[in-house]
A and B are shown apart, each in its own frame.
Chain A
Amino acid sequence: MKKKYRLNRKECLAGYLFLIPNFVGFLIFTGIPVVMGFFISLTDYTGFGSMNFVGFSNYTKMFHDSDFLIALKNNLFYSLTSVPLTILFALLLALMLNRKMYGGSIFQTIYFFPNLTSMVAVGCVWLQLFDSKKGPINQFLTNVIGMENPPKWFWGVSTALFTVVIVVVWKQAGYYMVMFMGGLKNIPGHLYEAAKIDGAGPWQTFWNVTWPMLSPTTFMVTILTFIASFQVFDIINVTTEGGPGRSTEVLVMRIYKEAFKYGRMGYGSAIGYFLFLIIFIITLIQWRGQKKWVAE
């Protein structure tokens, strides 16, 4: 017979007391702002003075605001390029290091390293490497390859955003590589033996064993990179600040500029809630997907 646990008074008190230090901080700096943000998004608050209720006009305004729409379009381009490229490179690196290789753990250490450095440091270095006139990359393209008009990278309207994508993929590929390596380790060895007995080549083994067995990890990595891609800011603020023109404006940059540069706290909050909505939808997809994979 299972004994029912009785709540005892001393334990309840201890439970609350242990929780309180964290809970008070959580409530003031996270809990309250989550709720407050929505109310601010319904006002014209500027950071000073009074606050007038304006209904949902901040939300309808977004879809007539060309700054916002361009940032949304750029952000979608950024997400739809950086996510697949990150997955591709992370997976290739993981597959490579998954084989027994001389110096494998050293390679893993090196590939992971850029991930730990700050976006500010990374931005400063790549600005020099990609310098359109004197940088080593364009020197190489003109002097060695013989290109006449090498790309302007961060300084070109049509290339700046993709340059950001290159830098971000370079920085984060090692992180997701480690996740993929974890997924690869979990694939039972007997499946590979069975494939070998059936006479499958490496290509067939990959598509029929590795890829399907890795799909929960791939799904997870897709969700995580997608969520992160909607929060991109640091690297852009260090390198291009949204320019040239508006070619690298993204959602978080709009929130930042509206609220802290132009003092439109209400409007900024509305964009913030829009960002929250996007991430909420991605999270819902994740929950449904996880259930599906657990059930199988």
Chain B
Amino acid sequence: MKRKKRKIGDIVLFLIAVAVAFIMIVPFLWMLSASFKLKSEIFSVPIKWIPETFHLVNYHTIMEEISFPRYFYNTAKITVVITLLRVTTCSMAAFSFSKLRFPGRDTLFLAYLGTMMVPWHAIMIPQFIVIQKLGLYDSHLSLILTGAFNVFGVFLLRQNMMTIPDSLVEAARIDGCGPVGIYARIVMPLSKNGLATLVVLTFNNVWNDYMGPMIYLDSDTKRTIQLGLATFKREFDTNYGAIMAGTVISLIPVVIIYMIGQKYIVDGIAYSGMKD
């Protein structure tokens, strides 16, 4: 009797889980479906989730009439460069903070930690002024430089490297391995998980960034995908199908990264308690 009751409970719970999954997924189905529809079909009643004929006109609009391929290329370029710079400089700094000893180390690390709680929005004005004074306004370099030397990245990798036993480092040192060798041959290979987490999180954050490009970029040809999409939406806010075609394209890399790196994304959440 009790068992039966429990079984019914499980079925009810499963149905609720399916209903929630539907709510989470349905906006993406709408996005995909609308991107293949003509304007007159999008808001038809009842909703046709699968369009009768797949029209490519919206993708054509996005690709030909505005420079969406250009935005895509810009974003990919900025994302790759920031990710590379961030992984390199953050891992070097994290190595220095966790495995090397020098005067002032802990004070410097405290300065890093202290700025982690300053929200970027609170300092975006002075940061903008710095960028302007350096003559970097409306260049991709502005986004690259403000994104590359990330404090959170240093913190995440340091926490990761702290778990590598010092005895390993000590043993290598006795065997005549210098700091560069220890970094490249011992610490980096043993921090693979932390590095992968940082890569995946960085990719996602930079790809989805909207406010940074909005402040630092001006000319159309330099826009990133989020900025391009938001601007397009503002200028043609009734071209529903084309807006959805743009969002579909902007989501493709995110979906791919999620499929490859889901484990690392979930791992990264453990560190979020300390970020911002």
Q: How long is the Cα–Cα vector from A78 to B170 in the complex, in angstroms? A: 52
Our pick among A22, A24, A111, A237 for the contact of B24 (Cβ within 8 Å) is A111
B233 at the binding interface (Cβ < 8 Å): yes
User: Is A294 close to B, CB under 8 A?
Assistant: no
**How far, in angstroms, from A36 to B270 measured CA to CA in the complex?**
32
Asked whether any CB of chain A lies closer than 8 Å to the CB of B264, the reply is: no
Asked if A96 and B21 make an inter-chain contact with CB atoms under 8 angstroms apart, the answer reads: no
Is the beta-carbon distance between B103 and A7 smaller than 8 angstroms?
Answer: yes
A230 to B272, CA, bound (A): 17
The minimal Cβ–Cβ distance linking B208 to chain A, given in whole angstroms, is 4
Q: Does A197 contact B (CB under 8 A)?
A: no
Contact across chains for A33 and B273 when beta carbons are under 8 A apart = no
A46-B12 Cα distance, complex, nearest whole Å: 60
Tell me the complex Cα distance, A279–B123, Å: 13
- CB of B204 within 8 Å of the partner chain: yes
Across the interface, B121 reaches (CB within 8 A) one of A122, A182, A272, namely A272
B92:A22 contact, CB within 8 angstroms: yes
Contact with B along A276-293 (1 / 0, CB 8 A): 100110010000000000
* Residue of B102, B126, B214 with most chain A CB atoms under a 10 A cut-off: B126
B276 to chain A, nearest CB (A): 5
B101 touches A11 (CB 8 A): yes
A40/B102 contact (C-beta < 8 A), A22-B90, A26-B149, A117-B208 known: no
Contact pick for B27, options A37, A122, A131, A238, CB 8 Å: A122
- Report the stretch among A62-70, A101-109, A156-164 that lies at the interface: A101-109
Task: Find out whether the CB atom of A12 lies under 8 angstroms from the CB atom of B124.
Answer: no
In the assembled complex, which residues on chain A have CB atoms less than 8 Å from the CB atom of B229? 120-121, 124
Binds A, one of B58-66, B110-118, B191-199: B110-118
Contact A119:B210 (CB < 8 A) given known A110-B25, A139-B45, A238-B230: yes
Interface residues of A in 17-56 (CB under 8 A from B): 18-19, 21-26, 28-34, 36-37, 40, 47
Q: Is the CB of B124 within 8 A of A32?
A: no
Contact in complex: A143, B45 (CB < 8 Å)? yes
Using CB atoms, name the residue of chain B closest to A27: B149
Q: How many A-B residue pairs have CB under 8 A?
A: 260
Hey, which chain A residues are within 8 Å of B23, CB to CB?
170
Q: Which residues of A contact B276 (CB under 8 A)?
A: 224, 227-228, 279
Closest approach, in angstroms, between the C-beta of A190 and any C-beta of chain B?
22
Quick one: which of B112, B125, B179 contacts A11, CB cutoff 8 A?
B179
Neighbour of B30 across the interface among A102, A110, A129, A252, CB < 8 A: A129
User: Within 8 Å of chain B (Cβ to Cβ): is A211?
Assistant: no
A162 to B108 alpha-carbon distance, docked (Å): 43
Our pick among A119, A143, A179, A227 for the contact of B208 (Cβ within 8 Å) is A119
- Beyond A11-B179, A179-B269, is A129–B123 a contact (Cβ under 8 Å)? no
User: Is A31 a contact partner of B247 (Cβ separation < 8 A)?
Assistant: no
Asked if A97 CB lies within 8 Å of chain B CBs, one says: yes
Q: Kindly identify, within residues 254 to 284 of chain A, every residue whose CB is under 8 Å from any CB belonging to chain B.
A: 255-256, 259-260, 265, 268-269, 272-273, 275-276, 279-280, 283
- B10 contacts the other chain (Cβ, under 8 Å)? yes
Interface residue count on the A side (C-beta < 8 Å) = 91
Interface size class of B (residues with CB under 8 A): 35 or more
A126: Cβ under 8 A from any B Cβ: yes
> How many Å lie between the Cα of A170 and that of B229 in the bound state?
21
Contacts of A125 in B (CB 8 A): 27-28, 30-31, 244, 247
Chain B residues positioned under 8 Å from A36 (CB to CB):
126, 129-130
Residues of chain B whose beta carbon lies under 8 Å from any beta carbon of chain A: 10, 13-14, 16-17, 20-21, 23-25, 27-28, 30-31, 34, 42-43, 45, 47, 88-90, 92-93, 95-97, 100-103, 105, 108, 111-112, 115, 117-119, 121-130, 132, 145-146, 148-149, 151, 154, 178-180, 183, 204, 207-208, 210-211, 214-215, 226, 229-230, 233, 240, 243-244, 246-247, 250-251, 254, 257-258, 262, 265-266, 269-270, 272-273, 276
16 further interface pairs, Cβ-Cβ under 8 Å (given A125-B30, A272-B125)? A11-B179, A14-B179, A33-B127, A97-B17, A99-B10, A102-B14, A113-B24, A118-B250, A121-B229, A128-B30, A136-B30, A224-B276, A255-B124, A255-B125, A279-B118, A279-B276
Query: Can you list 27 pairs linking A and B with CB atoms under 8 Å apart?
Result: A11-B102, A12-B100, A18-B95, A18-B179, A19-B97, A21-B88, A24-B149, A28-B145, A29-B127, A30-B123, A30-B127, A30-B151, A33-B126, A33-B129, A34-B126, A40-B125, A47-B129, A113-B258, A114-B27, A116-B208, A120-B208, A120-B230, A121-B251, A126-B27, A131-B43, A268-B125, A276-B118
What residues make up the interface of A, taking CB atoms closer than 8 Å to B?
5, 7, 10-12, 14-16, 18-19, 21-26, 28-34, 36-37, 40, 47, 93, 96-97, 99, 101-103, 107, 109-114, 116-122, 124-129, 131, 134-136, 139, 143, 170, 174-175, 178-179, 182, 220, 224, 227-228, 230-231, 233-234, 237-238, 252, 255-256, 259-260, 265, 268-269, 272-273, 275-276, 279-280, 283
